[in-house]
């Protein structure tokens, strides 16, 4: 059975770790997988996480099974990050814990397949490369809608809306809630409103991937799109993640929130996620979610987290400005879009050959799609990286 197997292709993102490990240069720069690095080039554990872990070691009363929905405190807190407590959307929402944003997306995908077996899922082009795989694993037909113009670094909003006119009532629209991965280009509030109008008319479902909450403009600002959708549409599904905003990548902490037309509908939808989870992984691992709950439950710890999150966000946005300015100094092209975009990523239109040259000759590692993780830049490497990008890029 195994002997005949051919080598599988490397994952376009996770596979980069092998190429990075093979590069012996002391000056190598990791702009591949979406991990936040600080000014020293390290990806440390947040102080608030360390403190909560210490507390848990001393005080966690039991490791008995929870339900398939995971940690109830975590679920309440994650719901509160999406929608202000007491708001209409908060009442109409229920959250389950999932193993990372990926796990939440897979649960959502399987749930949608059960509820709308004939429906298609519309995904942006480009999108996170794992989206199609997750959706296809549940058996979905996928339609790619235009989203981003590589040449100008702007959204193709008109083309997107024209393509979405094809949405039918049993289809689902997948959107990135903020910090679009891989482009960094997000909808503004008027564009969210136009999308809500279109979805209202079509009666299609919407799945929001919100993996970067707090890393764009702030916790409230980054939730504006999802809140607008919840205020206008009866139903919504949101996959969120603590991998980035709590820097808990390997702990696999995510959540899936279902919003119903009423609280009763949300409770019912929540109940229908449980058998999906039971067959996929029975219940999520607790540790990371218990840590997040511990931080968010305690006002002082939460304030500490918000400071650490702001530090990450502001450093990313500073690096965006520095990269844009340095590139602009060497090209007729307007790179202002890099500074206007948000989140970890941008796409500069570097060809796969250019990416290979960057890796081989400059020890700068990106995905072969030309996605740059801005959060891997720092004061020491940003100018060198910009110069290398300018040397290999076409525009
Ligand atoms: C990324 O896009 O780099 C991250 O979301 C990590 C991943 O799982 O792909």
pLDDT for 241:
98
Please say whether the beta carbons of 49 and 250 come within 8 A: no
Q: Mean pLDDT in the chain?
A: 96
Mean predicted confidence (pLDDT) in 320-335: 92
Q: Any idea what the Cα angle at residue 315 is, between residues 312 and 316, rounded to 5°?
A: 85
| 8 Å CB contact between 393 and 350 | yes
Alpha helices per DSSP H over the chain = 16-22, 47-59, 72-82, 88-91, 100-115, 130-137, 157-164, 189-202, 219-222, 224-232, 263-280, 287-297, 299-328, 336-340, 352-362, 382-392
Contact 254, 262 (CB under 8 A): no
Closest residue by CA, ligand 1 atom 5: 34
What is the rounded average pLDDT of the residues 81-94?
Answer: 97
pLDDT at residue number 10: 87
At 394, is the pLDDT very low, low, confident or very high (cuts 50, 70, 90)?
Answer: low
- pLDDT band at residue 354 using 50, 70 and 90 as cut-offs: very high
Report the alpha-carbon distance of residue 199 to residue 173 in Å, rounded.
8
Distance 181 CA to ligand 1 centre (A): 8
Structure tokens at 75: 């679920």
Q: Report the atom number in ligand 1 closest to the C-alpha of 211.
A: 5
pLDDT at 331 over 90: no
- Residue pair 321/314 in contact by the 8 Å Cβ criterion: no
Cβ neighbours around 295 below 10 Å, total: 25
- Rounded CA-CA distance 94/268 in Å is 9
Query: 12-44+314-394 architecture in CATH?
Result: Alpha-Beta Complex (3.90)
153 bridge partner residues: none
Answer for the pair 359, 23: CB distance below 8 angstroms, yes or no. Answer: yes
Instruction: Using the atom order of ligand 1, give the atom closest to the CA of residue 100.
Output: 8
**Tens-digit pLDDT profile for residues 95-113:** 999 999 999 999 999 999 9
Pocket (CB within 6 angstroms of ligand 1): 13, 33-34, 128, 130, 181
CA distances from 294 to 253, 257, 270, 290, 369 (A): 13, 20, 23, 6, 38
Domain coordinates in residue numbering, the chain: 12-44+314-394, 65-297
For the CA of 367, the closest atom of ligand 1 is: 3
Q: Which atom of ligand 1 lies closest to the CA of 13?
A: 9
Helices 287-297 and 299-328 cross at an angle (nearest 10°) of 100
DSSP secondary structure letter of residue 143? E
Do 212 and 179 contact (CB within 8 A), yes or no?
yes
pLDDT at 372: 97
For a pLDDT cut of 70, what percent of the chain falls above it? 99
The residue whose CA is least distant from atom 2 of ligand 1 is 34
Bridging pattern class, strands 364-365 and 205-210: unpaired
DSSP track, 197-230? HHHHHHT-EEEEEE--TTSSS-HHHHTHHHHHHH
Residue-wise pLDDT for 122-176, tens only, equals: 999 999 999 999 999 999 999 999 999 999 999 999 999 999 999 999 999 999 9
Identical topology for domains 12-44+314-394 and 65-297: no
> Would you say 122 and 171 are in contact if contact means Cβ atoms under 8 Å apart?
yes
219: which 2 tokens?
């916790």
Per-residue pLDDT tens digits for 364-384: 999 999 999 999 999 999 999
SS3 for 250? helix
Rounded Cα gap, residues 84 and 235, in angstroms: 17
**Which is the catalytic residue, given 28, 128, 171, 222?**
128
Q: State how beta strands 154-155 and 93-99 pair.
A: unpaired
Told to judge if 217 belongs to the known catalytic residues of this protein, a careful annotator would answer no
Q: Write down the pLDDT at residue 332.
A: 82
The CATH class given to the 65-297 domain equals alpha beta
pLDDT of residue 393: 81
209 in catalytic set: yes
User: What are 42-54's pLDDT values in tens digits?
Assistant: 999 999 999 999 9
The secondary structure of residue 11, as a DSSP letter, is P
Question: What is the distance in A from the centroid of ligand 1 to the CA of 102?
Answer: 9
Catalytic option among 209, 222, 286, 305? 209
Mutate to test the pocket of ligand 1, among 100, 130, 371 (most ligand atoms within 8 A of CB): 130
Answer whether 241's CB lies under 8 Å from 210's CB: yes
């Amino acid at each position: 059975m195994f002997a005949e197997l051919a080598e599988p292709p490397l994952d376009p993102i996770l596979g980069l770790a092998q190429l990075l490990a093979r590069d012996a240069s002391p000056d190598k720069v990791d702009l591949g997988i979406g991990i936040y690095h600080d000014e020293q080039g390290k990806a440390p554990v947040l102080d608030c996480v360390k403190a909560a872990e210490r507390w848990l070691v001393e005080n966690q009363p039991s490791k008995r099974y929870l339900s398939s929905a995971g940690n109830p405190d975590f679920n309440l807190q994650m719901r509160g990050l999406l929608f202000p407590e007491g708001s209409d959307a908060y009442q109409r929402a229920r959250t389950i814990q999932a193993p990372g944003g990926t796990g939440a997306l897979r649960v959502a995908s399987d749930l949608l397949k059960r509820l709308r077996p004939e429906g298609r899922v519309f995904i942006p082009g480009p999108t996170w490369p794992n989206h199609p795989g997750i959706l296809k694993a549940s058996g979905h037909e996928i339609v790619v809608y235009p989203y981003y113009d590589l040449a100008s670094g702007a959204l193709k909003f008109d083309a997107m809306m024209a393509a979405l006119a094809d949405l039918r009532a049993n289809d689902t629209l997948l959107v990135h809630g903020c910090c679009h991965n891989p482009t960094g280009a997000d909808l503004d509030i008027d564009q969210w409103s136009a999308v809500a109008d279109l979805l209202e008319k079509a009666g299609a479902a919407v799945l929001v991937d919100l993996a970067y909450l707090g890393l764009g403009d702030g916790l409230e600002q980054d939730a504006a799109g999802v809140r607008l959708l919840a205020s206008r549409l009866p139903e919504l599904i949101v996959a969120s993640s603590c991998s980035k905003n709590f820097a808990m990548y390997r702990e696999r902490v995510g959540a899936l929130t279902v919003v119903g037309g009423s609280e009763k509908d949300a409770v019912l939808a929540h109940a229908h996620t449980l058998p999906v989870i039971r067959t996929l992984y029975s219940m999520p691992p607790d540790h990371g979610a218990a840590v997040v709950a511990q931080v968010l439950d305690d006002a002082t710890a939460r304030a500490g987290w918000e400071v650490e999150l702001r530090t990450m966000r502001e450093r990313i946005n500073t690096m965006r400005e520095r990269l844009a300015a340095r590139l602009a100094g060497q090209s007729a092209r307007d790179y202002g879009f890099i500074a206007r975009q948000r989140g970890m990523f941008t796409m500069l239109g570097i060809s796969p050959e250019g990416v290979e040259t960057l890796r081989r000759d400059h020890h700068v590692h990106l995905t072969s799609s030309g996605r740059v993780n801005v959060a891997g830049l720092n004061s020491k490497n940003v100018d060198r990286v910009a110069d290398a990008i300018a040397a290999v890029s076409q525009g």
